[in-house]
């Protein structure tokens, strides 16, 4: 199918409508694009993406944290405070709504912002951790996040707290490059992808593995895969479609289609 260009042009393929209405198990797999319309930058969009403006080698590895804990902790605390200043958008809300109407829905996210939970999604598999769950680097004790910093000053150096139990440094609760993904969440995500009838892949460039395997696994297992993204993506199989546009515009329309009889 040729991708559509604007939301008003969506011609829902009859086969796909039928697949949506009959699917018993949905998987929704999200990336940074689902939060873009809330005002949270993605990673790889030119100019605005975080990795266009910051070097992940300085900020998103264990080595970076050990080399300069104040730089890394301050950057993640700045990101957490920015997230707390914004609200879930219609894409997050549509996903939460969808879960209330389809027989079963597994929500898997690469995002660390918790906007799905704030939109009312009850259960979210977090593959890359969360900005809101810092923990001790040495003993893994969880810590309530501190008072959010004032973002009007931009990013700033900030010393990480120290664990009251063991004296270790508190680190952000996100997965860094070179680290393993949380085993239980990854296993559940792979199982859901292999068993689902239909997978929506929303706002992800699909370049970071192992998460990027999830839509591929669903397609290989015979599920329909629908990508929602403003950029044209390379589609791998006959069972994959793309709805081209912003998630906040397309997902509410998709939910309407599911609910229409
Ligand atoms: P990317 O920045 O790689 O990709 C974001 C995708 O969202 C792109 O394909 C955009 O075209 C799309 N997009 C932008 N605006 C959108 C909108 N309004 N609606 C729908 N889509 C939109 O972000 P991710 O794929 O999430 O890892 O990146 C994967 C991982 O790389 C992240 O989880 C992070 C990063 O390094 C960790 O933090 C471990």
Residue range 178-220, pLDDT digits in tens: 999 999 999 999 999 999 999 999 999 999 999 999 999 999 9
47 vs 116, more confident: 116
Q: How crowded is the C-beta side of 43, counted as CA atoms within 13 Å?
A: 15
- Please, is 220 exposed, middle or buried when counting C-beta atoms within 10 Å of its C-beta (0-12, 13-18, 19+)? middle
- State the distance from the centre of ligand 1 to the C-alpha of 61, rounded, in angstroms: 19
DSSP structural state of residue 177: T
Per-residue burial over 12-44, b if 16 or more Cβ lie within 10 Å, else e, is beeebeebbeebebbbbbbbbbbbbbbebbbbb
User: Of 259, 261, 226, 249, which Cα lies nearest the Cα of 91?
Assistant: 249
Helix (H) or strand (E) holding 199: strand 198-202
pTM for the predicted model, two decimal places: 0.95
Per the CB < 8 A criterion, the answer to whether 16 and 241 are in contact is yes
Instruction: Clarify whether 128 is annotated catalytic.
Output: yes
Task: Place 10 in a pLDDT band, splitting at 50, 70 and 90.
Answer: low
237 versus 28: which is more confidently predicted?
Answer: 28
Any atom of ligand 1 within 6 Å of the Cβ of 128: yes
pLDDT, residue 6, reads 46
**Ligand 1 binding pocket includes 203 (Cβ within 6 Å):** yes
């Amino acid at each position: 199918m040729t991708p559509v260009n604007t939301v008003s042009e969506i011609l829902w393929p009859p086969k796909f409508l039928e697949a949506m209405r009959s699917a018993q198990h949905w998987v929704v797999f999200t990336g940074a694009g689902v939060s873009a319309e809330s005002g949270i930058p993605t990673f790889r969009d030119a100019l605005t993406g975080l990795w266009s403006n910051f070097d992940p080698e300085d900020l998103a590895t264990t080595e970076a944290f050990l080399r300069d804990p104040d730089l890394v902790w301050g950057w993640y605390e700045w990101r957490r405070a920015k997230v707390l200043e914004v609200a879930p958008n219609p894409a997050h809300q549509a996903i939460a709504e969808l879960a209330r109407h389809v027989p079963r829905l597994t929500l898997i996210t690469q995002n660390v912002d918790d906007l799905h939970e704030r939109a009312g999604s009850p259960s979210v598999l977090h593959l890359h951790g969360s900005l809101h769950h810092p923990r001790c680097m040495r003993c893994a004790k969880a810590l309530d996040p501190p008072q959010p910093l004032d973002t009007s000053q931009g990013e700033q150096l900030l010393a990480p707290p120290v664990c009251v139990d063991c004296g270790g440094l508190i680190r952000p609760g996100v997965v860094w490059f070179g680290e393993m993904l949380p085993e239980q969440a990854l296993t559940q995500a792979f199982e859901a992808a292999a068993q689902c009838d239909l997978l929506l892949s929303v706002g992800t460039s699909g370049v970071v593995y192992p998460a990027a395997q999830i839509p591929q696994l669903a397609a290989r297992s015979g599920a329909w895969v629908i990508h929602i993204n403003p950029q044209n993506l390379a589609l791998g199989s006959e069972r994959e479609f793309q709805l081209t546009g912003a998630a906040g515009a397309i997902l509410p329309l998709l939910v309407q289609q599911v609910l229409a009889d």
